[in-house]
Structure formats: structure tokens, C-alpha cells
Amino acid sequence: MTAATKIAFRDVGKRFASASGEAVHALETVSLDIAAGEFVTIVGPSGCGKSTLLNIVAGSDEPSQGEVLIDGHPILGPSAERGVVFQEYALFPWLTVAGNVGFGPGSRGLSARETAARVQDCIAMVKLEGFERKYPHELSGGMRQRCALARCNANDPDVMLMDEPLAALDALTRLSLQEELLRIWSETSRARPKTVLFITHAIDEAIYLSDRIVVMSDRPGRVLPEIRVPFSRPRPPEIRTDAEFHRLSDEIWLLLRKDP
């Protein structure tokens, strides 16, 4: 493992019993290094263990074998240094936008003044000014996910874990938020590199966002050939029409289809 490695998966396997008592072999000897400041996306069929890997990094689950290291240290549980954004937003419905964004900093002991400043900065970053007093049910899906991104960034995490965060959005909103996500990642990485582990079923989304794409097999999940995305940053939306973009999409699709 090099000094630049932020997340290291070492022969990670996962077995568990389903609610019906059936034995499930979710992951098989996954080994993978993710560099500090890298944007890595995992794609694969449903049930291949993508979310299980992310939950292990988040500290909400443990591997049955192997280990995951952050900066060379074992993960002992959830941490504010690892922020999570979910598909279903997971906002507190009884709190306003400002309340949701400020929940983490307030819980960590920041003063009211420091928390208010952090909330203001994060809300401005996701362009939700004027909606501070709105509740989640008063927001559109895209605005809820912006709020979730702001809440994640409010703790200033080193690692951002994103489990299909754009999957529930309509097509136009999803494309717009892909661009916003790259902007937010770039802005929050100015002080120090922010590492992103992203999960999606959308191949084009993976190509547009990522430095590297990890393709996983069907269950039990294992790593198939990795794809390095050759496009420089920043990436204009028009990159989606590039011939190389479509070639990469076909390559990933064939990998998924050929997996036995």
C-alpha cells in the first residue's frame, strides 16, 4: 500500500444469513486501493455486493474475512470523517434544511456560531439559499438531494460515500446534479483532497463522474477489470457525445454481459 492510498480493501469477503435464514455469499476476496482525492465508481448487477462494500467502509457493517483500512488503519465503526449520501435522502423530516445541515456539526460540539457559519457555507455551496427554513416534504427530489449533499459536507469529511444518490431523480434533474456534484467535489477538495466512493447502475453516469470505474461480477461480488477514464477535468456536459465516451460505455456493458 502506498502513502497515497486512502481506502484499502484487503481480501474482503462477506457472508450473512438472510431474513429467511438462507446463507448469502455477498462478496468474495475483494482487493482494491483507492487513492486520496480519487473519484471511484462501482458498477455491477443488483445484489453483487456494491452497497455491502460501501457499508463496510462507512463502518455500519463488518467483513466476514479480510479488512478495510483508512489511511492504513482498520475501520472500527462510523465516523464523521466518512460522510454518506443515500438514494432515499435520509433527511430528518422534523428538521428544516438548516437543521438537517447543522445536525452533524452541532452533534460534534461546534458552537452555535460555528455551526451557523458552516450551515450557511454548505447551503450556499449546493445553491439552496432561501430554503433554509423549508422542511424536506416542501422540497423537490433534486433539492432534497442537494440538502443531503450539504449535510454530508457540513462535517467536512475526508471520504464521501455515495450509494446511488441520483437514482431516484428524473432524467433532467439527474444530469444537472451530476454536473453539480463534480463542482461541489472540486470546491470541497481545494483545502485537501476529498475521496469519493460512488455506486451506480448507470454506466454513462459512472464515466462522466469518475477517475476510475470498478466493475463487479454477479454474486458473490468480485472485482472484474477496472476501467480508467481518460477524460481530463473539468468535464463539459458535451463529453457524453464523444466517441471515446461511447466506446467506454460499450466496453463496460460487455464486461457485465460476459460475466458468468
Query: Residue 38 — very low, low, confident or very high, per pLDDT cuts 50/70/90?
Result: very high
8 Å CB contact between 33 and 195: no
pLDDT tens per residue across span 139-152: 999 999 999 999 99
At 1 the pLDDT is 44
Whole-angstrom CA distances from 232 to 122, 149, 209, 239 are 26, 24, 11, 10
Please say if the pLDDT value at position 55 is more than 90. Answer: yes
Weakest-pLDDT range from 107-111, 152-156, 177-181, 193-197: 107-111
When pLDDT is averaged across residues 62-88 and rounded to a whole number, the result is: 92
At 260 the pLDDT is 53
Please say if the pLDDT value at position 259 is more than 70. Answer: no
At 16 the pLDDT is 86
When pLDDT is averaged across residues 51-74 and rounded to a whole number, the result is: 94
Domains, the chain:
36-62+72-81+157-260 (3.40.50.300), 92-156 (no CATH)
For the record, the C-alpha cell of 31 comes out as: 482487493
When pLDDT is averaged across residues 245-251 and rounded to a whole number, the result is: 96
End-to-end alpha-carbon separation of the chain, Å?
31
Please say if the pLDDT value at position 163 is more than 80. Answer: yes
DSSP class per residue in 30-61: EEEEEETT-EEEEE--TTSSHHHHHHHHHTSS
Question: What does pTM read for this prediction?
Answer: 0.92
